[in-house]
């Protein structure tokens, strides 16, 4: 029973993703889907990719196997949001209770430096210098190496096949429309996503034959093809042509970081979250600790409950800008604060039910960063191994470059770093030093893959896409179901609120 419940939540988690991005009602209606299953479930942003993952489970694949197949599929059909040119956070909880966090986020190139943009924020937001070293293939392969049951090539081939010809979804078309100028300006994107000078339409067949060949090489030769082989060599050559600084040595040096997930007991549940450089897990735990003190469910209900959530969000955003990549900055104090019920209690004392405050009340010392994009998937297999994974190339179509010789859309993840500015005239807070660029460092993220356990049993797998809005969206869906008792469909369909202080 618990399992099928979890599965429902899975499916809806992916619906939440779409709603968070303000899809037209008609598209959301299409996704009003409830699935009951005893043997596993796959929820992704795209039905084609959910089916590919489901078929892997039907063949006896592990949740990690299905994750590989579904995530690579998303990189093809939802190529404005994620792909092998980007990075990902994968949270895995095995049926035996062991949990792992696979951090395959992009890293700053070896030639990157704190002042590489000389204060020009538009250079880190778009274009060749905004590209971070991609991690997704390495992360998927490492998780598969440890847990996979089906052959690697079996899991990569469906995406390779799709890349030869797939139909443009309404969602991808919306993203193309919003990025039209960038698509028309880049030869690689233009070749794949336009025909005769205009964008492909919904339902049109899109062909990315180079990407198909790239995936075939990865199917056959594994991640070496990408990180130290023909794909990587071609990719680096293209990036250099764009004016980027990534070299083959960057790809060869890429490392997946495997970490202990954050774990916290709140409201009678055990919540597993993504550790830094994501701020998602710690952010969720801090907010839930604050809200828990008001009493569940009465304390989080109605307009006062909503007010408390928003005030908690503001505190969380202020605090989280002190986080950064723990391999480079000592964040042990701020992290232990964010996980501590006592710290949450102190913050709660500064929240008033009858008023809000000016931004400085929330104690934020640093400029709040806005991240973008992403794609999310939730998978549970028949043995109740569960995966929650968020993947991204950051903004729609990332850096707005498609590598012509590999078909890969490149990320603009460098935009998630903070950079020093000389601008002290405005009243904007200064940038956060913990998140300054260093070679090989990973930028701060909001991605919040989350797994919920009760009495030692898997209870739910949730997550969302939507950049900075991910943490709020995931918490609200979580509260709707686990605190307010709403059914899973209602939990994700309910309207949501958001505030990030400034």
**Residue ranges at the known binding site for L-glutamate:** 105, 392-394, 416, 445-446, 467
First CA to last CA distance, the chain: 43
- Cβ–Cβ contacts within 10 Å for residue 178, how many? 14
Which of 332, 358, 425, 426 is the binder for ligand NAG (CB under 6 A)? 332
Active site residue 107: no
Q: Using CB under 6 A, which of the segments 118-126, 264-272, 306-314, 343-351 binds ligand NAG? A: 118-126
Q: Provide the 3-class DSSP secondary structure of residue 422.
A: coil
- Helix 63-77 and helix 47-58: axis angle, to 10°? 160
Which of 32, 36, 59, 115 is the binder for ligand NAG (CB under 6 A)? 115
Residue 393 CA to residue 74 CA, distance in Å, equals 12
Please report the sign of the dihedral spanned by the C-alpha atoms of residue 281, residue 286, residue 287, residue 292: positive
* Chain residue whose CB lies nearest ligand NAG: 119
- Cβ–Cβ contacts within 10 Å for residue 136, how many? 29
For ligand NAG, give the closer residue by CB, 149 or 241. Answer: 241
Q: Rounded to the nearest 5°, which phi and psi values hold at 324?
A: -170, -170
Q: Using CB under 6 A, which of the segments 287-295, 407-415, 420-428, 464-472 binds ligand NAG? A: 420-428
Q: Is 424 in the site for ligand NAG (CB under 6 A)?
A: no
CB of 261 to ligand NAG, least distance (A): 21
- Taking the CA atoms of residue 414, residue 419, residue 421 and residue 427 in that order, the dihedral angle to the nearest 10 degrees is 100
- Each residue 190-219 as x (binds ligand NAG by CB under 6 A) or -, in order, gives ------x-----------------------
Which of 22, 358, 422, 424 is the binder for ligand NAG (CB under 6 A)? 422
CB of 227 to ligand NAG, least distance (A): 7
Which of 333, 358, 424, 425 is the binder for ligand NAG (CB under 6 A)? 333
HSE, side-chain direction, 13 A CA sphere, residue 107: 25
Q: Which of 44, 107, 374, 406 is catalytic?
A: 374
By CB under 6 A, what part of segment 248-267 binds ligand NAG? 252
Strand partners, 88: 104, 391
Q: Is 119 in the site for ligand NAG (CB under 6 A)?
A: yes
Token reading at 66: 């299905």
Which of 37, 228, 247, 405 is the binder for ligand NAG (CB under 6 A)? 228
Distances 46 to 27, 153, 376 between C-alpha atoms, Å: 12, 22, 10
By CB under 6 A, what part of segment 346-405 binds ligand NAG? 352, 354-355
Stretch (H or E) spanning 42: strand 41-43
Determine the length of the chain: 502
- Binding residues for ligand NAG (CB under 6 A): 115, 118-120, 122-123, 196, 228, 252, 330, 332-333, 352, 354-355, 420-422
Instruction: Report, as residue numbers or ranges, the catalytic residues.
Output: 374
């Amino acid at each position: 029973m618990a399992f099928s419940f979890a599965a429902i939540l899975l499916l809806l988690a992916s619906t939440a993703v779409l709603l968070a991005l303000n899809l037209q009602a008609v598209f959301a209606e299409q996704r009003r889907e409830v699935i009951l299953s005893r043997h596993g479930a796959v929820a992704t942003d795209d039905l084609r990719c959910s089916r590919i993952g489901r078929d892997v489970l039907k063949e006896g694949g592990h949740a990690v196997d299905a994750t590989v197949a579904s995530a690579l599929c998303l990189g093809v059909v939802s190529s404005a949001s994620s792909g092998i040119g980007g990075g990902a956070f994968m949270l895995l909880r095995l049926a035996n209770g062991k949990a792992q966090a696979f951090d395959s986020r992009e890293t700053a190139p070896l030639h990157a430096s704190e002042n590489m943009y000389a204060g020009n924020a538009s250079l880190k937001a778009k274009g060749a210098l905004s590209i971070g070293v991609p991690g997704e293939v390495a992360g998927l392969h490492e998780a598969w190496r440890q847990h996979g049951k089906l052959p690697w090539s079996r899991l990569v081939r469906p995406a390779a096949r799709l890349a030869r010809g797939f139909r443009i979804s309404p969602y991808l078309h919306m993203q193309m429309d919003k990025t039209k100028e960038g698509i028309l300006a880049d030869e690689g994107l233009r070749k794949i996503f336009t025909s005769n000078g205009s964008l492909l339409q919904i339902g049109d067949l899109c062909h990315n034959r180079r990407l198909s060949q790239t995936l075939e090489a990865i199917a056959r030769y594994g991640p070496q093809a990408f990180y130290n082989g023909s794909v990587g060599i071609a990719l680096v050559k293209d990036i250099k042509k764009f004016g980027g600084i990534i070299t083959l040595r960057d790809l060869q040096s890429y490392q997946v970081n495997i970490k202990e997930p954050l774990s916290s007991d709140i409201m009678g549940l055990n919540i597993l979250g993504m550790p830094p450089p994501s701020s998602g897990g710690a952010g969720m735990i801090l907010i839930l600790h604050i809200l828990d003190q008001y009493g569940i469910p009465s304390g989080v209900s109605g307009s006062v409950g909503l007010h408390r959530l928003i005030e908690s969000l503001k505190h969380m955003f202020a605090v989280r800008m002190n986080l950064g990549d723990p391999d480079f900055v000592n964040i042990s104090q701020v992290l232990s604060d964010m996980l501590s019920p006592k710290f949450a209690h102190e913050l709660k004392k500064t929240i008033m039910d009858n008023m809000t405050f000016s931004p400085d009340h929330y104690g934020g010392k640093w400029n709040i960063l806005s991240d973008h994009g992403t794609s999310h998937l939730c998978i549970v297999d028949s043995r109740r191994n569960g995966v929650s994974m968020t993947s991204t190339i950051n903004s729609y179509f990332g850096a707005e470059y498609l590598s012509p010789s590999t078909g890969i859309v490149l990320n603009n993840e460098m935009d998630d770093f903070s950079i020093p500015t000389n601008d002290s005239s405005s009243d904007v807070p200064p940038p956060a030093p913990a998140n300054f660029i260093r070679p090989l460092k990973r930028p701060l993220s909001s991605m919040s893959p989350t797994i919920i356990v009760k009495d030692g049993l898997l209870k739910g797998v949730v997550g969302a896409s939507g950049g900075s809005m991910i943490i709020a969206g995931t918490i609200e869906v979580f509260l709707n179901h686990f605190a307010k008792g709403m059914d899973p469909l209602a939990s994700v369909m309910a309207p949501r609120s958001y505030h990030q202080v400034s």
